[in-house]
Amino acid sequence: MKLKEIDRTAMQAWSPAQNHPIYLATGTSAQQLDATFSTNASLEIFELDLSDPSLDMKSCATFSSSHRYEGQP
């Protein structure tokens, strides 16, 4: 049984369990081709609202960048 879903290919992290509301962060890295053929890095924050009957999660913030980290190994 699905409670919520996000159609993304990304790394994800949940906010700490004791925090309310609960947030999910998803991130992609630059130069990794995604389903939309974008090569930008992105960070998105979603709020988990279980009182909303839809499967969608509300997007709270989005940050995109075409830059890559070029630091020393």
Going residue by residue through the chain (73 aa), what tens digit of pLDDT does each one get?
A: 888 988 877 889 999 988 888 999 998 876 555 565 666 788 999 999 989 999 999 999 998 877 665 556 5
Rounded distance between C-alpha atoms, residue 73 and residue 70, angstroms? 9
For residue 36 the two structure tokens come to: 């939309």
SS (H, E, C) 5-65: ECCCCCEEEECCCCCCCEEEEEEECCCCCCCCCCCCEEEEEEEECCCCCCCECEEEEEEEE
Supply the pLDDT for residue 28: 80
pLDDT attached to residue 14: 93
C-alpha neighbours within 13 Å on the C-beta side of residue 56: 3
